[in-house]
Structure 1
């Protein structure tokens, strides 16, 4: 819904422009209408045009029935107003020559003033559009700086992650880092919303995660991710708008080959089992981060073998829609993984993103995290 404050200049401009219809009708009729009736007709024409703009900008589609009905009744409304004024004030027709001159002058004045308001409205919208473009460029810059392609190699794992921002700019985040004991943590997060707000919160989230993991190498591996989710859920509410939150998928990758995972309202974690050549997916029903003051986040151990592949993709990939509004979905993602599970991680990520973009137009950030067990 367009805010009313954004429509004021446009409403005035449209009112003045379409008020000329009332003046034009008098000119075509010979300029005989009394001046109060003439200007009343102009007001009625302008008011109906304002109702159309208001309905189009602020009412649901069914609300268009209002201006349609009023427009249909316009002749009766105008005729009734004219008769009411003439009877109430005993108005008589004016001299045709003078009447035409007044109607023509009123038309020119209304057009000139409406032009001023239209230009003012366009200038204001231009400034806001320029401001929005700068905001998007800044958000893109933040995302490019804070979410570069991720590539990490350890003795037991290979990690690759990449995020492709949409035009709107969201808050997707993919990251991987080594802990003090040689273990690694890889994670993917998705901030709800778009624009600079989501980009800034994404930067805060990355800083918070890396800070919370500074001493993770000294703690029990099984508790790393649950403790991380608890901490993030505690700190996010004070640095965000009430409606914003983050989904999160985290993996702790041990030097011994052990894997722990935790999910917070995120899409399923896909697990390719290389020995069996099968694909399974893991889901965990937990609240998103920063939305509610909950506790008790859980993490699980994941049994893996050399050659296994772990894949996480954000909604920006899974929810891409084609022309018939059918989603790309989990099954299409699984099919790509099954066909190219042994491909280099960067190549596999590219194939997934290419398939998603070929399926439908990108509407959200598209981010993917791949982990191969060595």
Structure 2
């Protein structure tokens, strides 16, 4: 390499080291490659990791066209397949050169120098070409220069790709944090205050955003309503649907004459949207009268609620007929009722509790029986203490295994 080329390479290395964008790196490579070896044009082909096709990036694009080649096809494909350095004084005289590319671009290649690009591990990631030396043919010095530039370019592209992936992860993380904050803001900020009943509630998504929710409403005849819902799936999509379901329930809660009517209305409103995206939502809702003596309840395909009887220490399973929302457009629902006494406790929960995974046997689940036993042990506690006790029991069972589903719980205790 002559002094001019060495100086130019040092300069381009500094430029590449300063760039964090793949597009900027590509632009710098193509421009400097053409200048350093005194060529009319430079072309860079990158290997697509999934399709194993070569896609061109041209310093001076003709009609914005992009050339796509298979590894092994044409001169660039040959170098990508073999890792050879190919320096042709007469491109058209070599059978490896594909003239159709010139025809496609309206260009005439006379001389061409093609070198492989390798990542740190040695894998070929692309090909760098210089076309039509301004005077004569490409020299051994040009080969050294282009090989050195290709090596620096490959490292710079790898660094830029890692940087962009890191930036993308940060953007996704930030977006999920915002989505999580929005979802949490949709949950009640205050628990209902009544003379007859005390409440406790929590929702812990498995991901930053989940499909579980709970809500409270004051409805007709002075009754207080509580609901726990669970949208199929996880992540942002489930979180968006959760917002729709919650809004529908809250809107109709003030008008519905029964909990069965409430679920029927929500199913009609949401069915088309849920069916279109092949999703559904389950829910269990309870309402207690002003005196805390009568409990109304209805289910839309949700986990059975647990009713702890203080007088006997027994736990009853509450359930009604009803499909999840979004399964059938004309689904019907059922409301039932039971009496309550002082100290009785109702527990609503999502399947993130019963389906919690623990150590030991493969796919060991916490299960309904364990949850019933925990409610029986701790049912005498105040609402918030009971909630904490149930959450701690499931956490101990999981023994550090990552939470696989959203965990939502609502406790309603008669004073």
Length-normalised TM-score, structure 2: 0.62
How far 1:288 sits from its partner (Å)? 1.0
Structure with larger RCO (C-alpha < 8 A, sep 6+): 1
Residues 267-286 of structure 1 correspond to what in structure 2 (within 5 A)? 267-286=303-322
Query: 8 Å contact 2:213–2:408 — kept in the other structure?
Result: yes
CA 1:121–1:293: 2 relative to 1, 3 Å = farther
Alignment partner for residue 287 of structure 2, among 252, 256, 259?
A: 252
The match for 1:326 is: 364
Query: 8 Å contact 1:149–1:163 — kept in the other structure?
Result: no
Alignment partner for residue 237 of structure 1, among 260, 271, 292?
A: 271
The match for 2:346 is: 310
The match for 1:208 is: 248
Equivalent-residue separation in structure 1 for 2:335 and 2:284 (angstroms): 10
The match for 1:364 is: 405
How far 1:112 sits from its partner (Å)? 4.2
CA 1:149–1:267: 2 relative to 1, 3 Å = farther
How far 1:342 sits from its partner (Å)? 1.2
The match for 1:196 is: 236
CA 1:134–1:239: 2 relative to 1, 3 Å = farther
The match for 2:196 is: 156
Query: 8 Å contact 1:156–1:373 — kept in the other structure?
Result: yes
Q: Structure 2: which 5+ residue stretches go unaligned?
A: 1-46, 55-70, 85-93, 97-112, 118-122, 125-138
The match for 1:346 is: 384
Number of equivalenced pairs: 302
Greater CA radius of gyration, 1 or 2?
Answer: 2
Equivalent-residue separation in structure 2 for 1:340 and 1:347 (angstroms): 8
User: Which stretch has the larger CA shift, 105-114 or 349-358?
Assistant: 105-114
The match for 2:225 is: 185
Equivalent-residue separation in structure 2 for 1:351 and 1:115 (angstroms): 54
Query: 8 Å contact 1:12–1:114 — kept in the other structure?
Result: no
The match for 1:292 is: 328
1:115 aligns with 2:155: yes
User: Which stretch has the larger CA shift, 191-200 or 179-188?
Assistant: 191-200
Q: RMSD in angstroms over aligned alpha carbons?
A: 3.9
How far 1:150 sits from its partner (Å)? 5.2
Length-normalised TM-score, structure 1: 0.68
How far 1:9 sits from its partner (Å)? 5.9
* 1:211-265 deviation per Cα after TM superposition (whole angstroms, max 9, x unaligned): 102234xx3xxxx111111111111235555122211000121235211111112
CA 1:348–1:182: 2 relative to 1, 3 Å = same
1:135 aligns with 2:135: no
SS of 1:236's equivalent? helix
How far 1:357 sits from its partner (Å)? 2.1
SS of 2:191's equivalent? strand
SS of 1:211's equivalent? helix
How far 1:110 sits from its partner (Å)? 5.4
User: Which stretch has the larger CA shift, 118-127 or 138-147?
Assistant: 118-127
SS of 1:321's equivalent? coil
CA 1:138–1:244: 2 relative to 1, 3 Å = farther
Residues 59-78 of structure 1 correspond to what in structure 2 (within 5 A)? none
User: Which stretch has the larger CA shift, 181-190 or 132-141?
Assistant: 132-141
Query: 8 Å contact 1:150–1:162 — kept in the other structure?
Result: no
Higher strand share: 2
SS of 1:267's equivalent? coil
Q: Structure 1: which 5+ residue stretches go unaligned?
A: 1-6, 25-33, 44-48, 51-97
Equivalent-residue separation in structure 2 for 1:148 and 1:163 (angstroms): 11
Equivalent-residue separation in structure 2 for 1:246 and 1:23 (angstroms): 56
SS of 1:336's equivalent? helix
Query: 8 Å contact 1:9–1:117 — kept in the other structure?
Result: no
